[in-house]
Structure 1
């Protein structure tokens, strides 16, 4: 990984010298297929292209309305990513801790070099990584109210041209194939678990991409959610909910100050994005929530 964060001098961290071991760049589509195949081999029933429309409490479990019919479940693991349409069904509320948007474009014809690059800029920060088949993703992350112009291709490419380490990653002849604008801020669900249901992955806690915890968090929370769901079915629901809530709460308590400290290290520009991320004196009293936090 190469980062230009606290200053303009790039910091390269080869994984071979890291105490945390080798770094990985994951082919997410292939990884998801392997997980699905493993689940099917273990006896799980896999149904693709059948989103859940609603969830209704029925007896000791739930009845889920799918696009191709209903199913019943003794317990539900809610793992729909950054989509919380089922929150009302489960009696849960979304809590937003910080707003961030990723203005992303994808390119073909880019020879891979296995490098992930992060560069702080006045408007926010940029991220780029290799994708399979000589493709590369490039994203600018900033606050939604500051990045509206980045929806326009010309404005996005003008901003890209000012970067020192991201723009050179795209050789002449690289072909832009797709773009997207997605929410990338921190959000949690409350409660983390309820009557015969438990949230996992981004449905439980979606983190700022800067934290690099997405896949690890998804796998860890999925494993813990499976244990909790099993306990619920076995009649230990109250204990399962309490334990799971404590784990989720501790994860957020560790994450918020660590993320704030990392942003503060790069707040060298006097621009709106970085002004919002400078330490506030009133935060020293223990209130570590973002000023934009609210529940929905």
Structure 2
């Protein structure tokens, strides 16, 4: 079996992993950095709005020129039909940071990985890390037909915690949620993102590049089984007041997928010569709008942490990183609860659960996380011709 050695290995090629790899190259240009990504960023992903504040992070990482050239659709208005009141509109012209962007996530992720590769990161797509074993002062990572030894690891595999046991970490699930999304083309862009509360949960819709649009319903997995079926999903969409209006008669569905979207955290945030980043560290409810900004920031901070570990400041790096992660979660919990509490229109299970006192978080095994995230309940992805 071929074996390699590297100073740093980043597991995961999403925004957090790419940000960590890019920052490692900038911070420690003499070190060998290898990024390993299980997928190839060629499958549909739910569209996300990237706030304008992310421009500073993209500049810090050196990828702003590439991002600007990609010409993602601007997000000029957020329409929110949330509480018992007329829908509110928030226009980017009144923001100090300006307009954000509607992202094609697969395209954005490819852009970030290509930027990392151009910066000197060795990128391996289509390669999944199966095991991680402590070896000397570092880690040996085994893949299907090769392995690699790293002095330090950034673990940024998104909502995939299969390596938790290997790193001695525990996953805590704080809330369950799933996104039932469908993608359409032939939709004239209007530069708006719409969020609408409904009895079954909440809906959102946003423009994507190429006259495309994503529409999704967010609800609890045990309440969303019917939304897996196209006829049920479309009937629920038709009952919305605002989201349904965004799809013209000629819009054509080109893909659908269901993804876990609940809240989960890892403990510890960092261990012996490893650091978690992005959704792997803290997977947030999409309503919190943390998403990619959190991923980029945590990737940057993870790069500094593992660099400190190799420079003899391991205890300090772990403590500092854990403190930042804890503070971020403590700020998130009350803010998310307050946002859900503002929607008081319905006495349905979804909303009753969010008005009740929060349940004690459950610490679970990676196998249980797979179950609660929906993969064993039939959460799937379907590609259609034309995507």
TM-score by length of 2: 0.72
Aligned mates of 1:121, 1:275 — CA distance in 2: 13
Correspondence list, 1:33-44, <5 A: 33-44=110-121
| 1:161 alignment counterpart | 238
- With 186-195 and 170-179 compared, the bigger mean Cα shift is at 170-179
Q: Report how far residue 79 of structure 1 moved.
A: 0.4
2:162 is paired with a residue whose SS is coil
Aligned mates of 2:146, 2:110 — CA distance in 1: 24
Aligned mates of 1:81, 1:43 — CA distance in 2: 23
| 1:295 alignment counterpart | 363
Contact 1:98–1:292 (CA<8 Å) still a contact in 2? no
| 2:204 alignment counterpart | 127
Aligned mates of 2:326, 2:317 — CA distance in 1: 14
Aligned mates of 2:189, 2:128 — CA distance in 1: 35
| Aligned length, in residue pairs | 287
- List, as ranges, runs of 4+ consecutive aligned residues in structure 1 with deviation greater than 3 Å: none
Aligned mates of 2:356, 2:152 — CA distance in 1: 42
Is the counterpart of residue 146 in structure 1 residue 146 in structure 2?
no
Unaligned 5+ segments in structure 1 are 281-289
Is the counterpart of residue 65 in structure 1 residue 142 in structure 2?
yes
Is the counterpart of residue 217 in structure 1 residue 285 in structure 2?
no
| 1:115 alignment counterpart | 192
Unaligned 5+ segments in structure 2 are 1-77, 365-387
Is the counterpart of residue 231 in structure 1 residue 308 in structure 2?
yes
Correspondence list, 1:78-89, <5 A: 78-89=155-166
Is the counterpart of residue 18 in structure 1 residue 95 in structure 2?
yes
Contact 1:54–1:65 (CA<8 Å) still a contact in 2? yes
Is the counterpart of residue 198 in structure 1 residue 266 in structure 2?
no
Aligned mates of 1:115, 1:31 — CA distance in 2: 19
| 1:272 alignment counterpart | 349
Aligned mates of 1:234, 1:81 — CA distance in 2: 27
- With 142-151 and 13-22 compared, the bigger mean Cα shift is at 13-22
Query: Deviation digits for residues 153-205 of structure 1, max 9, x if unmatched?
Result: 11111111100001111111211122111110110001100010000000000
Contact 1:99–1:292 (CA<8 Å) still a contact in 2? no
Aligned mates of 1:146, 1:276 — CA distance in 2: 12
Alignment root-mean-square deviation, CA = 1.3
Is the counterpart of residue 3 in structure 1 residue 65 in structure 2?
no
Aligned mates of 1:105, 1:189 — CA distance in 2: 30
Contact 1:267–1:275 (CA<8 Å) still a contact in 2? no
Q: Report how far residue 20 of structure 1 moved.
A: 4.4
Q: Report how far residue 292 of structure 1 moved.
A: 5.7
2:258 is paired with a residue whose SS is strand
Is the counterpart of residue 247 in structure 1 residue 315 in structure 2?
no
2:124 is paired with a residue whose SS is coil
Query: Deviation digits for residues 201-222 of structure 1, max 9, x if unmatched?
Result: 0000010000111100000000
1:179 is paired with a residue whose SS is strand
Aligned mates of 2:244, 2:361 — CA distance in 1: 34
Aligned mates of 2:234, 2:303 — CA distance in 1: 44
Aligned mates of 1:61, 1:25 — CA distance in 2: 39
TM-score by length of 1: 0.94
Contact 1:56–1:64 (CA<8 Å) still a contact in 2? yes
Q: 1:45 aligns with which of 107, 118, 122?
A: 122
Q: Report how far residue 68 of structure 1 moved.
A: 3.8
